[in-house]
Amino acid sequence: MLHAASSFRNIPFDQEKVAATMHALMEGAGVVFVAERDGVVIGGLAGGITEYFFSHEKLGFDYSFFIEPSQRHGITALKLIRALEIWCKARGAIALQLGISTGLNVDGLSKFYELAGFTNVGPMFKKEL
């Protein structure tokens, strides 16, 4: 659903690659948090940790973050972000960086991230080649 609506929709979607990546994250290369309501998955947040290229300090980041559109007006998104924050901090990260690369609801999501305590450090630009 996220891929089909996003700025990535023109890039082929490979279900097997997604499954392998999520499996690797769950096996220790990162983390995947899933939100359920009544036994149905309504969202998820996949993240990881890397070192800054100029330092040995660690930085948490998101691979993908999605909440089913009909479920976006609750606290699910905030709970997922808080879970990632806790996970990153427990692994020594000094910061968590979340991006908006899908082109979807950039203004609304930017406001949400700011309300969640994040600072806007600049836009992201893309050029098709």
Domain that includes residue 66, residue range: 2-115
CATH of the domain at 8: 3.40.630.30
Residue 126 confidence (pLDDT): 87
Give the tens place of pLDDT for each residue, 50-108: 999 999 999 999 999 999 999 988 899 999 999 999 999 999 999 999 999 998 889 99
Find residue 51's DSSP bridge partners: 58
Is 129 inside a domain boundary? no
Number of structural domains found in the chain? 1
In a domain, 122, yes or no: no
- Does 124 reside within a domain? no
Position 85 in a domain: yes
**pTM assigned to the model:** 0.92
